[in-house]
Structure 1
Amino acid sequence: MMNLAKLICALLLLAFCENTFAQADDHWESYIASYEKGLGITLLNMSLKEKAPVKDQGFVLITGVTFSDCKDGLPTPEMVETLQSIDDALARQVSFLGKTTFAGSWTHNCERLLYFYLQDSMDVRFSLQTFYKDNYPAFKHYINIRHDPEWEGYLKFLYPNEIILEQLNVSKVLLQLAEAGDKRDKERPVDYSFFFPDGKNRSTFIEQMKQEGFRVADQPKKVASKDRPGLVTISKPALPDASTISGMIIYLRKKAAGLGGEYKGWETVPVKN
């Protein structure tokens, strides 16, 4: 579990990144994940998922600096302001290279790397080497330019996998509960809803879930009715933890899919006493 100091540091870092690069029509998300050498923070423009890959931007530039003021691989609060300044200057420098798209960033192991997609790679390395030498000679810099027409750097590395994506969605709901005064250390029923076009498969799913300790919270009598087509809601007590709930959603989704079912959502209520 991340301690409070590291969490505050991570949130500070993400806050300035969004202010620096966000556009009005962008949808930015950030997440923290564990890697071989420790925790890493990823910030990315989720809106690019619908556009990627952009055909005339087939080169990815991965560049940034190594910073010394770090704790457990993440920047100290004192380092955040300096990194912001470097990011701003770096973004301006890259903008001189032609049409570019900032896709996201990764901060890990005392290194901060920004991902840009470019039209071509001509003169990019020389331009950035000069930039770092003239402006930030005290920092070790990193420059990697490669042909990436399928945008794998964004789609396969920056973009969250199924588990993390579900955790992001669950975390938003849990944040709303916390703002409503929820007691995070209290178990409460957590409901998961599914749609089955076939009544027999729905019954099979229900029986399987009962054997795993779930109860049926809602089961319309008519399958594929106009108002409530083949729905079933199962419930089981759990702590309001993003990892626990998202993991359960992924598990149940796969179980339901094996019987032709479709996951429709989850819900719970705040516990204030």
Structure 2
Amino acid sequence: MHNHEEDWRSYPIESDDEMGFAMTDLGWTEAPHSHPWCVRLAIELNEPGPQGLGSTEEMESLSAGEDEFLEAAAQAQAIHVARVRHGGEVAWFFYAQSEDIVESLGQVAAELLQRDISAGAQHDPEWGVYASILPSPAVERWMADMQLIDTLEKHGDPLTVEREVIHYAYFDDLESAEAFAADSEPEGFEVEIREPDEEIEQFGVVLTQQSAVDMDTIGAITQTLSERAAELDGEYDGWECALVKGPGGSNN
């Protein structure tokens, strides 16, 4: 139907000092003009708990009905883009060809989920609601860190063993690249500045340091480097390292 590859990711969100979680299809890079209506269907959780996220048992009890409900939405040509748990409710977001789908889709959801449904729609041809649900730069960085850490763990890496970790950042001008390098060098990084070439048109800064890669350690480093790069109108582009195996750590 559209030139789109699904990329469902789960990540934390924070609003009004309350924690929440979103499960979002990040694969949409352009808003389909054929689906300009944002449809929101929501239920209140029976047992929201102190954080308003509901219990595992309640979410599992909804799962079978949710699968059928989402299948019905797909058959009605509605595009499911996100599910958000926050503030004692679960909300599903869709984009549809017409607002006329709201009533029928709400009825199907109520029947399959066995819950009262709050349903509404708004004209949103630019998919602004979808954009508002997408992860912030800080959350994107956290997701990237976690993805790499998960890969290392699956291969037996203890994470807490120090090893050579290489970080990358890019800038439009040499002055910014040099400033980023100068600010980072006192923190124990070996620094290399790379000139633009045919593949990468920006100035690159490569930082190398011995460090562990558990989330507490690497997360603090990537947060500092990301914020520093952003202050210089640059972009931090992640890190890489060799796999270390075993309790004492042996490179592989």
TM-score of the superposition, structure 1-length normalised?
0.71
* 5+ residue gaps, structure 1: 1-23
Alignment of 1:205-244 (within 5 A): 205-211=180-186, 213-216=187-190, 219=192, 223=195, 231-236=204-209, 237=211, 240-241=214-215, 243-244=219-220
SS in 2 for 1:150: coil
Q: Aligned in 2, Cα 1:37/1:89: closer, same or farther, shift over 3 Å?
A: farther
Q: Indicate whether 1:266 and 2:243 are aligned.
A: no
Cα shift at 1:110: 3.1
* Alpha-carbon spacing, 1:130–1:207, altered in 2? closer, same or farther (3 Å): closer
Deviation per CA, 1:199-229: give whole Å up to 9, x if none. Answer: 6654443322224x2321x537x85588999
Q: Which amino acid aligns with 1:77?
A: T
Q: Percent identity?
A: 19
CA contact (8 A) 2:102 2:120 kept: no
| Worse overlay, 244-253 or 166-175 | 244-253
Report deviation, 1:165. Answer: 1.3
* Cα distance change of structure 1 residues 215 and 102 upon mapping to structure 2, 3 Å threshold: same
1:63 to 18, 41, 44: 41
Q: How many residues align?
A: 238
CA-based RMSD: 3.4
Q: CA deviation at 1:114?
A: 0.7
Q: Which residue of 2 aligns with 1:10?
A: none
Query: Which residue in the other structure is 1:76 paired with?
Result: 55
Aligned to 1:165: 140
Residue matched to 1:35 = 15
> How far does residue 58 in structure 1 lie from its aligned partner after superposition?
1.1
Distance 1:128 1:37, change over 3 A: farther
Change (3 A) 1:235 1:100: same
Distance 1:202 1:112, change over 3 A: closer
Q: What one-letter code is carried by the residue in structure 2 that aligns with 1:102?
A: H
Tell me if structure 1 keeps the 8 A contact 2:159–2:212: no
TM-score by length of 2: 0.76
Kindly provide the CA deviation profile for residues 166-208 of structure 1, in whole angstroms up to 9, marking residues without a partner as x.
2111211111121232334455554322456766654443322
Runs of 4 or more above 6 Å deviation: 225-229
C-alpha separation between the residues in 2 aligned to 1:95 and 1:181?
40
Q: Residue in 1 aligned with 2:66? A: 87
SS, match of residue 183 in structure 1 = coil
Instruction: Give, in whole Å, the separation in 1 of the partners of 2:238 and 2:53.
Output: 34
Shift in Å, 1:108:
1.9
1:87-109, Cα deviation, whole Å (9 max, x unpaired) = 1232244346x432111110123
Relative to total residues, which structure has the larger helix share, 1 or 2? 1
Secondary structure at the aligned position of 2:117 is classed as strand
Measure how far apart 1:112 and its partner are.
Answer: 1.2
Following superposition, the deviation at residue 61 of structure 1 comes to 0.8
What is the CA–CA distance in structure 2 between the aligned matches of 1:88 and 1:239, rounded to whole Å? Answer: 37
Please tell me whether the aligned partners of residues 226 and 235 of structure 2 are also in contact (alpha carbons under 8 angstroms): no
CA drift of 1:262 comes to 5.6
Q: State the distance in 2 between where 1:239 and 1:141 align.
A: 44
1:250 aligns with 2:226: yes
Match of 2:155 among 172, 177, 180: 180
Rounded to whole Å, the distance in 2 between the matches of 1:37 and 1:199 is 40
